[in-house]
Structure 1
Amino acid sequence: MDSPLVFIGAISLCFGALLVLVLVVLRPHYAAIPIERRRPEGQPEQSALTRFSESAANAMGGVIGKSGGPYNRELLYNAGIKMSPAEFSSFVAALALAVGVLFTLLSNPLIGILLAVTTPFAGRLALTVLRDKRRAKFDSQLTGTIQMLIGGLRAGHSVMRSIEAAAQESEAPTSEELSRIVNETRVGKDAKLAIDDAAQRLDSEDFRWIGQAIQINREVGGDLAEVLEHVASTIRERSEIKGQVRSLSAEGKMSAYILMALPIGVAFGLAMINPKYLSVFVEKPIGFLMMGASALMFIIGGFWMSRIIKIKF
């Protein structure tokens, strides 16, 4: 940064990105009911910061369109993020700008640009991790959910009433998914289709079995509570096997994470301590070839290790 004006401009961009970041994250998220229904007397006067954050989100919504871009509404819902695609995209864009400017000031422009470009991919990866955690939490709550369904059926309630009671007594994400099933059936959606859609969203084979048991009971009759007891026993045994598999593969997963993070961590550390030490990678053609080859080997090695530690049964 030879010119003080360039340095001041970079600092201003960094603070502007952080401001947008804070406004989007801390922006209050109300219920889905329109504000004119919640406050019939009129809308409260909005502050300038609120109008600015809404304008940024609306502008991003015009860019990404109705599909939501890479952060679509279904992915955000499955990850448990209570933000619209436009708001989350604005958050990622502001974060990318802030990270890029910050590392440009601390190290060199190339590192800042690379980090700014990889930030959207990191956001997508974070959503995938949150989605998988939400699915795993749902699976861990499934046995208790079945027991509540069995209790409701034996008390004389219907299937949907039992699902509604289980939704009220359960924790998220089970309560969210069961409530969505109940609401969809109330507006006319078939119960089997609603349960199958929930099983597909959660990628839960066990929950799909529950839907099949309910559908068979609707067609041929019988004691659904007893059938669900057998299903719960099977799910419990599968959960024990899954726990054993996770225990046996934990060491391999940790080794893969360390081996994948070590080169990146060392490179960032050297860039922060002595930026000139890595200048050969950004100043000479052989450096670009080495970076390209390293990235290709990194991707191949990461995919190889992910296949090794991913056990299907």
Structure 2
Amino acid sequence: MMLTAGALLFLAAAVLLGFAFILRPAPQVPLDRRRPYESDPPSQLTRIAASTVRLFDKVLASGGLRLFGREALENAGIRMTQAEFLVLVAAGAVVAALAGLIVLGPGLAILLFILAPFVGHLMLNFLAGKRRNKFDQQLGDTLQLLAGGLRAGHSILRAVDAAAAESQSPTSEEMRRVITETSLGRDLLASLTDTAQRMRNEDFVWVAQAIQINREVGGNLAEVLDQVNETIRERSEIKGHIKGLAAEGKFSAYILIAMPIGIVMMLMTVNPGYMDAMFTHPLGWAMIGFSVVLMTIGSLWMRKIINLKF
């Protein structure tokens, strides 16, 4: 009897324990955790900026203006639309105009406001040139990756894809663009030629031509790329020697360009009233304008002399 009672109690305990697990209440999750994630509402400044961008988009679409085109922004490596960059330039123009109004008055404010689009173009050109120089410096490593992929048994497209994955920007971006265009049906030579024109790189034109010739006549493309890489490295070494020899001329040009501006700033600092006549008399304004024209001509002339092509 004692054994039977113990077995019944053990069975009852097991049943009660099972009911306790089955009938236990579901965990209560707070209401804020059960709601879908919502980001913080945009600020007033963000809403104003978005509205301004949409307004610029409508104006550009209706008027057909191409002040800062998509191609120029892509070459500079700026991931912005034309309207967004125009809003940025407009904001910079307003800030520069306010600073000029505080410093010297309405004349300088208007001048800085007018010069803002030109500064935007100069910035795009500077960034595009910097991006092209970086692409040129990475070209040797890119060719090594392509040759290594071909030796491993990959096709040229697979080797280009591997180079896009292993390289740094901007080479990775350009190689990935080539892969995307060829996957959409475009010819490989056309994509590589466009990359060379976009980067303004004559060495990459040789690479595209070598790949096209190999596709037509056959051969060991890896060895061809190695030979092209060796030629490019020798040309890069010559470029370095030429830049070193031209560095003195460039430095002299920079000093001559900065000297008039530095002298004016020094005189305004030492004796603030000494240059007042230049900014108040019509003859002074004419002399300033004539000086700016002469400095521009001289700067372009010196740039033409020291900018050696090779």
Q: CA deviation at 1:178?
A: 0.3
- Map of 1:179 onto structure 2: 176
Structure 1, unaligned runs of 5 or more: 1-40
Q: CA deviation at 1:201?
A: 0.3
- Point out the structure with max Rg over C-alpha: 2
Residues of 2 paired with 1:262 and 1:299: CA distance? 14
Residues of 1 paired with 2:57 and 2:272: CA distance? 38
The question of whether the paired residues in 2 share the 8 Å contact of 1:106 and 1:272 is answered with: no
The question of whether the paired residues in 2 share the 8 Å contact of 1:110 and 1:282 is answered with: no
Asked if 1:97 corresponds to 2:117, the answer is: no
- Map of 1:144 onto structure 2: 141
Q: CA deviation at 1:46?
A: 4.1
Task: Give identity over the alignment, percent.
Answer: 48
From 47, 58, 73, give the equivalent of 1:62.
58
Structure 2, unaligned runs of 5 or more: 1-35
SS in 2 for 1:177: helix
Q: What TM-score does the superposition give when structure 2 sets the normalisation length?
A: 0.81
Distance 1:70 1:273, change over 3 A: farther
From 48, 53, 57, give the equivalent of 2:49.
53
Bigger RCO (CA 8 Å, 6+ sep): 1
Query: Residues 196-235 of structure 1: matches in 2 within 5 Å?
Result: 196-235=193-232
- Map of 1:119 onto structure 2: 116
Q: CA deviation at 1:73?
A: 1.2
SS in 2 for 1:63: helix
Q: CA deviation at 1:111?
A: 2.1
SS in 1 for 2:78: coil
Residues of 1 paired with 2:275 and 2:106: CA distance? 13
Asked if 1:312 corresponds to 2:309, the answer is: yes
Distance 1:276 1:61, change over 3 A: farther
Asked if 1:299 corresponds to 2:296, the answer is: yes
The question of whether the paired residues in 2 share the 8 Å contact of 1:164 and 1:182 is answered with: yes
Cα RMSD, aligned residues only: 2.3
Asked if 1:134 corresponds to 2:139, the answer is: no
Q: What do the CA deviations read for 1:163-198 (whole angstroms, capped 9, x no partner)?
A: 000100000000000000000111111111000000
Q: CA deviation at 1:267?
A: 4.2
- How many residue pairs match? The answer is 273
The question of whether the paired residues in 2 share the 8 Å contact of 1:79 and 1:130 is answered with: yes
- Map of 1:236 onto structure 2: 233
SS in 2 for 1:71: coil
Q: CA deviation at 1:224?
A: 0.6
Letter of the structure 2 residue corresponding to residue 115 of structure 1: L
- Map of 1:22 onto structure 2: none
